Amino acid sequence: MSRSRWYAIRTAPGYQRMAAVDERLPESRRMESIIERNCRKDGFDIFMPSFYTELRHHRTKQILQKRFPFLVGYAFVNLPRLNFEELRRVDGVVCFLRGANYGPLEFPDGIIEALYFAEHERRQAFLYEQHCRKENERHEQIQHLRGQLRKILPKGRKARVSMVDQAERAIDSLSPQIKERVQKIISELNGLTGDVDVENLRQAV
């Protein structure tokens, strides 16, 4: 088994952008960059240290997940066969980073492993931030739905009766249109909170 031999390549401008989505690729490659796709297509093992972030589309306001390089303009390629000329022909590869002896500079495994660890650590932080955002959005949606229920339900609810229970008892006396709306709100609440939270809602004041 040949050992890893990592070399840094200079990438052409624009080639570290995310490549077009290709549904034929496995999930692990759905957010790869153009330079990664080109290298992998030609059989090269490439590592582009990167991080993920979420951006809001300026027109649609939709949350988009994006991936960016840690080292703008550079990536690492494993060349155990030292087939430099083959790699130079890959679209998007400009040149190799050279050392003091003017040949391609080989990077020790320790440096690559440190970059892998940094990428993994940032990925975990991103997933946590994403989870917190989704939980905040879920909470805001629940509060919004509860507010709508307050506007619909009869006044003078008795103490220690949850809004959901009150809606279930009052629903038969509502007009068909309002009744359908309340049923939809309750359904959305159940989907957002889960069984345990729904039970808590039933027991809440």
71 in the same domain as 18:
yes
Structure confidence at residue 201 as a pLDDT band (50, 70, 90): very low
Task: Give the end of a domain, one of 84, 107, 130.
Answer: 107
Q: Nearest to residue 55, comparing CAs of 38, 44, 41, 67?
A: 67
Give dist(CA 80, CA 98) in Å, integer: 17
12 in the same domain as 97:
yes
Predicted pLDDT at 196: 47
102 in the same domain as 193:
no
Task: Give the end of a domain, one of 90, 107, 124.
Answer: 107
146 in the same domain as 101:
no
159 in the same domain as 99:
no
Predicted pLDDT at 193: 59
Residue range 117-175, pLDDT digits in tens? 999 998 999 999 999 999 999 999 988 888 887 777 666 554 455 655 655 666 666 67
Task: Give the end of a domain, one of 65, 81, 107.
Answer: 107
147 in the same domain as 91:
no
CATH code (residue 93) = 3.30.70.940
186 in the same domain as 103:
no
Q: Is residue 200 over pLDDT 60? A: no
Give dist(CA 166, CA 174) in Å, integer: 12
36 belongs to a structural domain: yes
Give dist(CA 151, CA 144) in Å, integer: 11
24 in the same domain as 78:
yes
Higher pLDDT, 183 or 65: 65
30 in the same domain as 89:
yes
Q: pTM, whole model, 2 decimals?
A: 0.68
Residue range(s) defining the domain that contains residue 169 = 141-203
99 in the same domain as 24:
yes
Give how many domains the chain has, as a whole number.
Answer: 2
29 in the same domain as 86:
yes
| 3-state helix/strand/coil string of the chain | CCCCCEEEEEECCCCCCECCCCCCCCHHHCCCEHHHHHHHHCCCEEECCEEEEEEECCCCCCEEEEEEECCCCEEEEECCCCCHHHHHCCCCEEEECECCCCCECEECHHHHHHHHHHHHHHHHHHHHHHHHHHHHHHHHHHHHHHHHHHHHCCCCCCCCCCHHHHHHHHHHHCCHHHHHHHHHHHHHHHHHHHHHHHHHHHHCC
Q: Nearest to residue 188, comparing CAs of 153, 138, 151, 131?
A: 138
145 in the same domain as 97:
no
195 belongs to a structural domain: yes
Residue range 7-60, pLDDT digits in tens? 999 999 999 999 998 888 888 888 899 999 999 999 999 999 999 988 888 888
